[in-house]
Amino acid sequence: MLDEPFRASASRLRGLRVLIVEDSWHIASTVESVLERVGMVIVGAAPTAGDAERFAHEGGPKLAVVDIKLRDGLAYGLIDRLHDLGIPVVVVTGFGTFSMPLVKAVAILQKPFRADELVAALLLAV
């Protein structure tokens, strides 16, 4: 839950287009709900890197939330491609951050994370 002072600072996210890349329906749905509550526009929720790339090219996202482990493999290449398109990425992962190679991400959130942590990470990107 977002408290009122935090919700006010999150208003900078209102109207921004965001891509969610997560293969767990439950987590993707929760992330989508949090981001919609702060007024973000979801361009797509993709379970695979291939789907994410399609949404990235067609939906015009300004930010992305990307899980490292997807149905079609690890998302390191996707994160690099999103970065090359000028789309800042917040990584969410169940892996320990110490075991991840360097990724071009604004922030890395360890699962489970709270709604305010996700919103704070997205605020870093804008």
Backbone angles phi, psi at 106, to 5 degrees: -70, -40
| CATH number for the domain whose boundaries are 4-125 | 3.40.50.2300
For residue 99, pLDDT beyond 90: no
pLDDT at 18 over 80: yes
Q: Name the packing angle between helices 49-59 and 76-84 (round to 10°).
A: 10
Domain range list for the chain: 4-125
Distance CA 67, CA 91 (A): 6
**Mean pLDDT, all residues of the chain:** 90
- Specify burial of residue 6 (Cβ count, 10 A radius: 0-12, 13-18, 19+): middle
Q: Helix, strand, coil shares of the chain as percentages rounded to 5?
A: 45, 25, 30
Residue 5, pLDDT score: 58
User: Per-residue pLDDT tens for 23-45?
Assistant: 999 999 999 999 999 999 999 99
